[in-house]
Chains A and B, each alone.
Chain A
Amino acid sequence: MNNQPPKLPLRLLRWFCDPRLLTYIEGDLLELFEERVSNKGNVKAKWFFVWEVIKLFRPGIIRSFGGTYRLNQYDMFRNYIKIAYRNMMRYKLYSSINVLGLTIGLAVALLLLIHIRSELSYESGYQNHERIFRVASTHWAKKTPVLAAHLEQEMPEIEKIGRLYFLQSKVMKFGNEEVLMEKPYYADPAILDIFTLNFLEGDAKHALDDPSDIVLTRSVAERVFKPGEQRLGAEFILMGSQKYYVSAIVEDLPKNSHLKIDCMMPIAGTWVETAESRGWGGVSTYALLHAQEDAQKIEARLLDFQARFLNETKEDILAEGDLYELNPIDEIHLTSHREKETEANSDMSYLYIFGSLGVFILLVVVINFINLYVSQSLNRLKEVGVRKVVGAGKGQLIFQFLTEAFFLVGMSAVLAFGLVLLAIPYYNDFGNVEINALELASPTVLLMAMGLVLIVGFLAGGYPSFYLSKFGIRQGLKTGEQKVKHKQYLRSGMVAFQFIIAVFLLTSTVIVSQQMDYIHHKELGFDHEGVVAFKLHGALWYQVTTNADLARRELHTKSGVQSVSLCSEIIGDRLGWEPFGLDKNPENAITARFIRADPQFVETMGIKLEKGAISKNLTGTQFILNESAASQLQQQENLIGQAANNDYQRVKCHVSAVVNDFNFVSLHSEIEPMVIEIPKDIRAASGYLLMRINAGNVKETISGITEYLESMAPGTPIVYHFLDNRIENLYTTENNMFAIFELFSSVVIGLACLGLFALFAFITRARTKELGIRKTLGASISQLLLLLSKGYLWLLLGSIVLVIPLTMFFSEEWLSNFAYKIDVRWWQFVLPGFFVLLMALVAIVAQSWRAVIQNPIDSLRDE
């Protein structure tokens, strides 16, 4: 018969009960149990027993778990910190490497954290940002001006809808000065409400009501007006005739926004407003919805709407694949890469890359810490032994070493904060980002930083503290041989891991830098060096275009100027798509990018003429096609001289020449069909004065040109770009991201190498005696070196094999962003790996050299 009381509650009781009371209580319980077994049966008695035990959970009975040492906790804690400090001071090199590594690691992680946060924070500065949507389509960020009114009528979910039209940078006349507005916009009054712009001066309700109103942002107002000057009502003149009067001044738009606005004028009554074309993508349309969820309701009806609006069938629209959609503005900065974006947007993938870099760096730092700490621990065994003799338990030792780890991590974190604070301005410059140093003080960042410290502290301190506290008293206090076995698989794992990270980052850096290099040096199909473009605006535009021939002659006399041309856009500007077809063959019409220029354009740009000739005698419009356009027309024979038309502009004339393909946009995209239209009179279309100059004395040439242009239009700001700079600007995002990536990769690689160094130092030290014995028995130096490095050679080779497919995958992913990319060759994967391997071997040899070379008597003497 089983009339034993249940074991588990009894054990529980013994655990929590005050030992002074335990025996009596246990006795009482057992007595009652036995009585109940005979009265009420086994099962009931057992349940009673459990219940009684549970009811014993009360203050007088539970023992105090702090035990007797609870009283000393504070003093012990102080002692731990003191010992940690003394140890730090005693082994200055180790500790400084450790703290330095941790500081750099934490600083980089923190910086990346803030960077990612600031990227994610785009548009959050607008009060209603969650309810604001941009009306766009699959491929286009901008749509027709007519769209907004129709949408508002049909979609009751829309609270407000407004349009923005970007005028390109303009100069406006203010008094006698000409003021450069880089981001002037035509806007609907609703835009002010949708983005809840903050009015500093002027009437918020009627700021854009009158056709002559202009709203300035604060920074522009501060630039233009003297302090204390009357701002409201000030007159600005656009394009020589259109007069505007300041109606309001608003706070600058948040920096973390895809919209950058200098000034706004009413869109109502402008040609933009009256443009009827429904296919034209010209204005950005923003809608404020009543609720965020309404977006789905609208999108469900959007296809129907589009079909009615464009008067096409749904099937046609689906086949074309350019569907209307609502983009939450919060997502634009990181996900939208449509035609006609307001600015080059960033990409989610960069955030992932930065995030992984941050994690990598933290892991490397943690591993370093563990390695350094454990290798340092040889010196601490005696301390552990003494502490144990005096009565420290394992738990206390763990607590001590964790305290020490947290002491170091906490110190590093404080240093890291300072470092980040100092680094932010440089980082902003370096990566061309705008991070606010105040972010550091935001509660979320502080909380995350604290979490970071906790995680790093536990990861870094956890293993060493368990490892150290395990040593027995004897091991600690015995003099002479100290045998410390660092667990083999763990050590190998850590080495392999660091190695993989180092090789991965190095390979990626090599591939990324080669791709960037390729982009910068690829033949673009024209000679981009030595071409300078002067923006024509304001009075300068008027003077140059009115007296074009004179200007041309005058400019040719300046030293260094080879050729002069007028054109509508330059590389880096988005060219519009327009239809183009041959009169003879209208079914085969194509759409092509259009640029307008004078006959000197091809020569100035250094584009190669393939067929035909460009007539300088302007009797009518001539078209110059690039090879892609020519081949798409499927009319290779007799193309030159054929009558052709551009439907959109209703221009009719002939094809005069074919030029080779050249890259007019970034190398992300393939070369597209392109038409250079040479109109009879370029005047209205001219946007730039393009000049090819000698490489000889650029400075002098530029100042000569500038002087002349200034004399033509005094007061107009002269803005010019070198084409190679413009091309460089096409890759700003990549360049910036690459700069950051390269910087932090090298930090990670450096830290990883540091860690490997420290680890080998430890290993060699632990094996000094073995080496001495081997040497006495006749081993040569090279044999010893081989012995030390052999194990790692295999490990490292294995890591290389492991890392290659990983790198291949990611680099292919990244390269697929480019239409023109490098061929990745095998050595690009293998070489960096072997480079790191070589470094590791050098590290091994360097670290073990002293141990190997030293006289065995020194290492064996102390026994």
Chain B
Amino acid sequence: MGKYQLGEFEEVVMLTVAVLFGNAYGVSVKKEIEDRLVRNVSVGALQSALKRLEDKGYLTSAEGESTSERGGRPKRYFTITALGKKAIEDTRETRNTLYSAIPEVALDVKIV
């Protein structure tokens, strides 16, 4: 822990890119998140998160084909790098450790 810095939204984006395996570009990621998590994602938030993750080396991107529906602009496909894989695994690990450390009683308590 601490080696990999990953914010909550960044983690969601990473996971979604992984889910979409090979078909992850701006709009598809956005839709996937919106569908699965039922939350609104703006292009701006998404793009800046993607850029940040790429700068950190967790994602790489490659220019895809251009389609007419995008006014001729190419898509940019993202894939997870090895480092990115380690980062999400590490995050998951951390969570699991924390979860398992919770004494059972704590979760039994009903909050009135």
Interface residues of A (CB under 8 A from B): 21, 23-32, 34, 52, 55-61
Contact A60 B42 (CB under 8 A): no
Given A31-B27, A55-B44, A61-B51 contact (CB < 8 Å): yes
The answer to whether A60 and B75 touch (CB under 8 A), given A28-B43, A31-B69, A31-B70, is: no
A to B CB contacts below 8 Å, 25 in the list: A21-B47, A21-B51, A24-B25, A24-B74, A25-B26, A25-B43, A27-B26, A27-B71, A27-B73, A28-B26, A28-B27, A28-B43, A30-B69, A30-B70, A30-B73, A32-B30, A34-B69, A52-B44, A55-B43, A56-B43, A57-B44, A60-B47, A60-B52, A61-B44, A61-B47
CB distance from A51 to the nearest CB of B (A): 8
Picked from B45, B47, B52, B71, the residue with its CB within 8 Å of the CB of A25 is B47
* B48 beta carbon closer than 8 Å to chain A: yes
Most buried by A among B27, B66, B74: B27
**Nearest CB to that of A57 among chain B residues?**
B44
**Shortest beta-carbon distance from B65 to chain A in Å:** 11
- Assembly CA distance A23 to B45 (angstroms): 17
Structural contact, A56 and B73, CB atoms closer than 8 A = no
* Ranked 7 nearest A-B pairs via Cβ: A27-B73, A28-B26, A60-B48, A56-B44, A55-B44, A24-B76, A27-B70
How many whole Å from B112's CB to the nearest CB in chain A? 40
Alpha-carbon separation in the docked complex, A25 to B71 (Å): 12
Interface of B is mostly: helix
Chain A residues, Cβ within 8 Å of B74 = 23-24, 27
**Cβ contact within 8 Å between B27 and A32:** yes
State in angstroms the CA–CA spacing of A61 and B30 once bound together. 17
Q: Which residue of B lies closest to A5 (CB)?
A: B71
Q: In the bound complex, what is the Cα–Cα distance between A59 and B74 (angstroms)?
A: 23
CB distance from B63 to the nearest CB of A (A): 8
Which of B47, B66, B70, B76 sits near A56, CB closer than 8 Å? B47
Least CB distance, A782 to chain B, in whole angstroms: 72
CA distance A26 to B70 in the complex (A): 8
Per the 8 Å Cβ criterion, residues 6-39 of B in contact with A are 25-27, 30
Residue of A nearest to B66 (CB): A27
Judged by DSSP, the binding face of A is helix
Q: Which residues of B contact A60 (CB under 8 A)?
A: 47-48, 51-52
Establish whether residues A32 and B43, one from each chain, have CB atoms under 8 Å apart when the complex forms. yes
Contacts of A27 in B (CB 8 A): 26, 66, 70-71, 73-76
User: CA separation between A28 and B47, bound complex, in Å?
Assistant: 10
What A residues does B51 contact at CB under 8 A?
Answer: 21, 60-61
Q: Give bound CA distance, A58 to B49, whole Å.
A: 10
CA distance A25 to B70 in the complex (A): 10
CA A29 to CA B44, docked complex, whole Å: 10
* B residues near A61, Cβ cutoff 8 Å: 44, 47-48, 51
Nearest-Cβ distance from residue B5 to partner chain A, whole angstroms? 15
Question: In the complex, what distance in Å separates the CA atom of A59 from the CA atom of B47?
Answer: 11
Q: How many contacts between A and B, using CB within 8 angstroms?
A: 68
- Cβ-closest chain A residue relative to B71: A30
Q: Would you list which residues of chain B between 65 and 100 have a CB under 8 Å from chain A?
A: 66, 69-71, 73-76
Are A52 and B42 interface neighbours, CB within 8 A?
yes
In the bound complex, residues from chain B placing their C-beta under 8 Å from that of A59 are: 48
A23 and B26 CA atoms in complex are apart in Å by: 12
Chain A min CB distance to B78 (Å): 10
A26 and B42 within 8 A (CB): no
Residues of B within 8 A of A55 (CB): 42-45
Q: Which chain B positions have C-beta within 8 A of A58?
A: 44-45, 48
Closest-by-CB residue of B relative to A62 is B48
Q: Which residue from chain B places its CB closest to the CB of A23 in the assembled complex?
A: B73
Contacts of A32 in B (CB 8 A): 27, 30, 43
Residue of A nearest to B75 (CB): A27
B44, B51, B69, B71: most-surrounded residue (chain A CB, <10 A): B44
How many Å lie between the Cα of A55 and that of B30 in the bound state?
15
Most buried by A among B42, B73, B75: B73
- The minimal Cβ–Cβ distance linking B25 to chain A, given in whole angstroms, is 8
Task: Specify which chain B residues have a CB less than 8 angstroms from the CB of A29 in the assembled complex.
Answer: 43
Within the complex, the shortest CB–CB distance from B72 to chain A, in Å, comes to: 8
A21 / chain B contacts, CB cutoff of 8 Å: 47, 51
- Choose among B45, B48, B76 the residue with the greatest number of A CB atoms under 10 Å from its CB: B48
Q: Could you list 7 further interchain pairs (A-B, Cβ under 8 angstroms) beyond the known A52-B44, A58-B45?
A: A24-B73, A24-B74, A31-B26, A32-B43, A52-B42, A57-B44, A58-B48
CA distance A21 to B42 in the complex (A): 16
Complex CA–CA separation, A57 to B27 (angstroms):
18
CA distance A25 to B51 in the complex (A): 11
Instruction: Please indicate which of the listed interface residues B47, B52, B66 has the most CB atoms of chain A within 10 Å of its own CB.
Output: B47
The docked-state distance in angstroms from the alpha carbon of A32 to that of B41 is 12
Q: Report the Cα distance A30→B47, complex, angstroms.
A: 14
B75-A24 in contact (CB<8A): yes
The CB with the most chain B CB atoms within 10 A, among A24, A30, A56, A59, is that of A24
Smallest Cβ-Cβ distance to A51: which chain B residue: B42
* Distance between Cα atoms of A156 and B25 in the complex (Å): 83
Chain A nearest CB from B15 CB (Å) reads 20
Least distance between A63 CB and chain B CB atoms (Å): 12
Shortest C-beta distance, A473 to chain B (Å), equals 36
The CA of A31 and the CA of B43, in the complex, are separated in Å by 11
User: Which of A28, A56, A57 gathers the greatest number of chain B CB atoms within 10 Å?
Assistant: A28
Instruction: List chain A residues, Cβ under 8 A from B52.
Output: 60
Q: Binary interface profile of B, 47-67, with partner A (CB < 8 Å = 1, else 0)?
A: 110011000000000000010
* Distance A58 CA – B30 CA, assembled complex (angstroms): 17
Cα separation A26 to B74 with both chains bound (whole Å): 9
Bound-complex Cα distance A59 to B66 (A): 27
The answer, among A26, A52, A57, for a CB contact under 8 Å with B73, is A26
Give complex CA distance A286, B111 in Å.
78
- How many Å lie between the Cα of A648 and that of B79 in the bound state? 113
CB distance from B24 to the nearest CB of A (A): 12
Shortest beta-carbon distance from A791 to chain B in Å: 58
Find chain A residues with CB under 8 A from B76 CB.
Answer: 24, 27
Residues of B within 8 A of A24 (CB): 25-26, 47, 73-76
In the assembly, what is the distance between CA of A26 and CA of B27, in Å?
11
Please give me the residue from chain A that is nearest to B43 by CB atom.
Answer: A52
A62: min CB distance to chain B, Å? 10
Which residue of chain B lies nearest to A49 when distances are taken between CB atoms in the complex? B43
Residues of A within 8 A of B26 (CB): 24-25, 27-28, 31
**When chains A and B are docked, how far (Å) is the Cα of A863 from the Cα of B30?**
69
- Return the chain B residue nearest A59 by Cβ: B48
Instruction: Report Cα–Cα, A61/B54, bound state, in Å.
Output: 13
CB contacts (< 8 Å) of B69 on chain A: these are 30-31, 34
Instruction: State the CA gap A57–B45 with chains docked (Å).
Output: 9
Nearest A residue to B29, CB-CB:
A28
B77 to A, closest residue via Cβ:
A24
Q: How far is the CB of B77 from chain A (nearest CB, A)?
A: 10
Let me know if A26 and B47 touch, CB within 8 A.
no
Determine how close the nearest CB of chain A comes to the CB of B68; give it in whole angstroms.
10
How many Å lie between the Cα of A28 and that of B27 in the bound state?
A: 6
Q: How far is the CB of A13 from chain B (nearest CB, A)?
A: 10
A58 to chain B, nearest CB (A): 5
| Complex Cα–Cα for A203 and B34 (A) | 85
Across the interface, name the chain B residue whose C-beta is closest to A4: B71
What's the least CB distance linking A24 to chain B, in Å? 4
- Which residues of chain A are within 8 angstroms of B30 by Cβ–Cβ distance? 28, 32
- Look across to chain A and name the residue whose beta carbon is closest to the beta carbon of B42: A55
**Minimum CB–CB distance for B64 against chain A, Å:** 9
Distance, CA A32 to CA B69, complexed state (A): 9
Distance (whole angstroms) from the CB of A44 to the closest CB of chain B = 15
A256 to chain B, nearest CB (A): 62
Contacts of B25 in A (CB 8 A): 24, 28
Which residues of chain A come closer than 8 Å to B75, judged between CB atoms?
24, 27
> What's the minimum C-beta distance from B26 to chain A, rounded to whole angstroms?
4
Least CB distance, B19 to chain A, in whole angstroms: 18
Residue of B nearest to A27 (CB): B73
Give A27 to B75 CA distance when docked, in angstroms: 7
Residue of chain B at shortest CB distance from A52: B43
CA of A32 to CA of B45 in the docked complex: distance in angstroms?
15
CB closest chain-A residue, reference B76: A24
